[in-house]
Every structure is written in C-alpha cells, then in structure tokens.
Amino acid sequence: MGKNRYSAETKWAVVKDKLSGQYTNRQLMEKYGVKNESQIKTWMKWYRENQLHRFDQPIGKQYSYGHGPEYASKEEETNRQLEHLKVENDILKKYLEIEKELKKK
C-alpha cells in the first residue's frame, strides 16, 4: 500500500466544503475519496494557520526556505495565486450567505 496523493484542487475543495458547514468529515471522505479523517483535519489546520503553501507541496517534501514550491515561471506563480484567491473568495461568499441566513432567523 502506497501513500495517497491528492491534488491541490481536491484539498481546496475539501476545505471549502468543510468551511461551508454542510458536510461532516465522513461525508467529505466519501465525496472526495479521502482515505483518512486525519488528512482532512491536517488540511484544515494548514488553512487555519495560513500555511497555504503546503497545499501544493508533494508528499515527503517540506518547504522551509521560501515557504513554497519553485515555480517554472512568474506566470505560473501568478496563476497559482489567482486560483488561491478565487477559492478564498468563494469561501468568503459562502460565509456571508450563511451569516445573512442566520440574521434572518
């Protein structure tokens, strides 16, 4: 049995769904094929501690100097940052929707 590999997109999707409050860890495991609940907890910890560079690191690779992967080009780095901001924006929109719903009650 080898280590499971999850794409950065899968990790962000799990974090986004978890923050929405609509899914339990067990439901997220089934939806995204995550094998262990502790993996979801780890990704949430990275998000809470603003260790966003860790979502892109390969298995066994720890970034210490520079806190992130070496990008082939400035354009690639910009695209990755743009993707991160889009996900963050979606999370904030969902939070505002939930907040608005709670105020109505």
> In the structure, what pLDDT confidence band is assigned to residue 81 with cuts at 50, 70 and 90?
confident
Find, among 90, 102, 104, the residue nearest to 17 by Cα.
Answer: 90
What six digits make up the tokens of 23? 């899914």
Q: Tell me the percentage of the chain whose pLDDT exceeds 90.
A: 26
Question: Which of the 8 DSSP states describes residue 71?
Answer: P
Query: Which pLDDT belongs to residue 102?
Result: 84
CA atoms within 13 A on the CB side of 36: 9
Question: Which of the 8 DSSP states describes residue 64?
Answer: -
- The Cα–Cα gap between 36 and 78 comes to 32
Give residue 21's identity as a one-letter amino acid code: G
Alpha helices in 2-73 (DSSP H): 8-20, 25-32, 37-48
Report the predicted TM-score, pTM, of the whole model to 2 decimal places.
Answer: 0.59
Domain ranges within the chain, ordered by starting residue? 8-104
**Chain segment 20-59, per-residue pLDDT in tens:** 888 999 999 999 999 999 999 999 998 888 888 788 776 6
